[in-house]
Structure 1
Amino acid sequence: MTIHNTENLNVLWFLPTYGDSRYLGSDVGSRPVDISYLAQVARAADDIGYYGVLIPTGVTCEDSWVVASALAPQTRRLRFLVAARPGLMSPTLSARMTATLDRVSNGRLLINIVTGGSPKENAGDGFLADHAERYAITDEFLSIYRDVLRGETVTRKSPHFDVTDAHLQFPPVQKGGPAIYFGGSSDAGIAVGARHADKYLTWGEPPALVAEKIARVRAQAEKEGRSVTFGIRLHVIVRETTVKAWDAAEDLIRYLDDETIRRAQASITDTDSVGQARMRALHNGSRNALEISPNLWAGVGLVRRGAGTALVGDADTVIKRIEEYKNLGIDTFIFSGYPHLEEAYRFGELVLPRLNIS
């Protein structure tokens, strides 16, 4: 089975800047973060033909901007989806950093705006805004940030920012700046995404829930006089047969015990993210009934914050599930797998050549 359509899909991979592993929740087969390994993953993604790589952000990760700057000269076509946190930097400094990295990478930069997160983690960065205020900050941030990247000289005072004659000396390569990727499942998140995002991202929920979310974002974007495209963040476990794929999924959590899951879930629930609550509701911390939709497995979310579901199956099955999401309006897929280097090749060999990709 091959996806045939007139619209190309963008397929990205993931850079594990917090470390990589062969088994979830265990040090067995773990790989430390170092630039040599991250470069291997990035060069593999570049050679295989992925559209780009997502670089995450957070206290457990290497800095996304610095990693992208280090890897851009080591790749040729690969785009870097760099996670940025409004509230931790001013919109004008962020615009200068964005323009510089876009120039360094010769126009291969994408920006992923991350508003949510753990209040405990935010407090460690001195960022004490609650959920509603964080989205208000993001709204103001993106208004200034995007106008500066468009080449405007901005003087603006808002509740959280006050800038005078803000402008760029050196513009980005991409006219108007890189595309803005954004995710948020709350009403506030959808409102901000509809107002500012180019690409709205969702985590890998069952298709019916994704369809509902897409409808909400589209309706809100229409109120803003805008249109938004859509992407999804998923893990993937693909093998030559579906039986082997499910065996690999079970093997991934072979070292997980109940106490490890309990501790992980306690950490994961220390957040006010609506999207994270929706992810957790798919499994409720239990390893029973982890196939929450045909070939959609929630086992990753037992111990991992953020994206917690994986497509599982042989190539035909995985392509069929991709097709289902594509038919909902998804045109961008951000995948990952454990370990990321080997799984980038496996997906790249079994599935990627059969997709109509950009």
Structure 2
Amino acid sequence: MTTNSNEVEVYWYLTAPDGPSPWSSDGARKIDLPYLRQIASAVDQLGYTGALLATGPHDTWVLGSSLISSTEKMRFLIAVHPPLISPVLAAKMTQTFDDFSRGRVLLNIVNGNTPQMQAYGSTLEHDERYAYTDEWITVWKKAVAGESLDFHGKYITAEGKALQLTSTQKPTPPLWFGGSSQAAHTTAAKHIDTYLSWGETPPQVAEKIKELQALAAEQGRSIRYGIRLYLIVRDTDEQAWEEANRLLKTMDETTVENMQNNLRNSDSVGQQRMLGNHNGKIPQDARELEIYPDLWAGLSLVRPGPGTAIVGSPETVLARIQEYRDAGITTFIVSGIPLLEEAYRVAEKILPHLPIASHSITPSKQEEKVFTWEHKIH
């Protein structure tokens, strides 16, 4: 996947929960497949590059597969936790998804945090997870490309040729990745196509990109850079901050305390950085959590992961997006609350003013794949 140096990619968010204030019982919507199909259809038709299917209540592979036939152009950024799945099985799932979607799958490699991974049965500590991911990606790339395996690592052993397909995208579908620790940066520089930041300020992002560029250069590589942000865009700056205050007023102390207690146990460097923006305290006015001009940290009071939003008029939002572009960002994963309505608002007020890269989809008439009976039996 290549883009002009001036072009950007813009992805939406396609993960529950959702609603006018999804952290509250009276502000959360019922999320089912028909509703998620509405969001996917909007993403597909409104000019977005694709959507992130992030860690949430639904399995990302099943959700993505359920939406292939409902979309034509949308690219699927699927969140994957390496410690929880064999790299060869993940390669087979990737090949299948890439085949059936005509080359529209991307993988977002997620290392999670220790309590989360322990709940799924993985006992690897923080830096060990990145060492495991290093081996996992090495095996995954060879398997997706259809190569025979002869890998003997500290964590993973894989021998022989288990898969009959190769991926539609060559040599493999692109890999995306986030993580703010040194171990994360080292792994990203070695393997990843697009590195994602968690809504830090433009100067912080510029510094991080500078470090990653140096690490990637040591590997003889170059990588792209993206960022995950919320957008609160209205006709004027005043109206946008009124919406931020509306959201703030739906956050009660019990919900915030419970969320913050859970997140304080995280060993994610990025998560701790988000918590430091507010220390779990609900302010009287949304502007009190403006950590940089037009950048609001209030959503990280009630949600895990990246919780910063650009707040303002279309002109203000576009100016801040340009500042991130100047820092080196070429990919934006954005969303609003609620997802469905804000997908239209952002598409109408922001997307027409951005040079969004176009990506060709593999024609539906593909080379016929023929498998003999011998190939099917193992």
81-90 or 267-276: which moved more? 267-276
Separation in 2, partners of 1:101, 1:334: 21
Whether the 8 Å contact between 1:21 and 1:30 is mirrored in structure 2 is: yes
Separation in 1, partners of 2:154, 2:161: 17
Counterpart residue identity of residue 51, structure 1? T
SS of 2:111's equivalent? Answer: coil
- Offset, 1:96: 0.5
Please give the residue correspondences for 1:342-357 in structure 2 after superposition, counting only pairs within 5 Å. Answer: 342-357=341-356
Whether the 8 Å contact between 2:115 and 2:265 is mirrored in structure 1 is: yes
Separation in 2, partners of 1:202, 1:334: 10
Separation in 1, partners of 2:58, 2:238: 36
Using the aligned pairs only, state the percent identity: 45
Whether the 8 Å contact between 2:196 and 2:228 is mirrored in structure 1 is: yes
SS of 2:312's equivalent? Answer: strand
> Cα RMSD (Å) of the superposition?
1.2
TM-score if structure 2 supplies the norm length? 0.90
- Offset, 1:93: 0.5
> Which residue of 155, 176, 184 corresponds with 2:179?
184
Whether the 8 Å contact between 1:21 and 1:28 is mirrored in structure 2 is: no
> Which residue of 104, 120, 125 corresponds with 2:100?
104
Q: Which runs of 5+ in 1 are unaligned?
A: none
Separation in 2, partners of 1:177, 1:37: 31
SS of 1:330's equivalent? Answer: coil
Counterpart residue identity of residue 71, structure 2? T
Separation in 1, partners of 2:23, 2:146: 46
SS of 2:158's equivalent? Answer: strand
1:91 and 2:87 matched: yes
Match of 1:114 in 2: 110
1:337 and 2:332 matched: no
Whether the 8 Å contact between 2:22 and 2:28 is mirrored in structure 1 is: no
Greater C-alpha radius of gyration:
2
Q: What is the aligned residue count?
A: 350
Separation in 2, partners of 1:322, 1:51: 16
Whether the 8 Å contact between 2:127 and 2:183 is mirrored in structure 1 is: yes
Please give the residue correspondences for 1:290-305 in structure 2 after superposition, counting only pairs within 5 Å. Answer: 290-305=289-304
Counterpart residue identity of residue 298, structure 1? A
1:213 and 2:208 matched: yes
Separation in 1, partners of 2:240, 2:222: 37
- Offset, 1:257: 2.4
* 1:130-172: CA deviation from partner (whole Å, max 9, x where unpaired): 0011111100000111122223211111011111113531111
SS of 1:53's equivalent? Answer: strand
Whether the 8 Å contact between 1:13 and 1:344 is mirrored in structure 2 is: yes
> Which residue of 36, 39, 54 corresponds with 1:38?
36
Counterpart residue identity of residue 336, structure 1? S
Counterpart residue identity of residue 26, structure 1? S
Counterpart residue identity of residue 211, structure 1? A
TM-score if structure 1 supplies the norm length? 0.95
Counterpart residue identity of residue 193, structure 2? D
SS of 2:249's equivalent? Answer: coil
Separation in 2, partners of 1:283, 1:166: 51
Please give the residue correspondences for 1:1-358 in structure 2 after superposition, counting only pairs within 5 Å. Answer: 7-16=6-15, 18-23=16-21, 25-57=23-55, 60-117=56-113, 119-288=114-283, 289-358=288-357
Q: Return structure 1 stretches of 4+ with deviation > 6 angstroms.
A: none
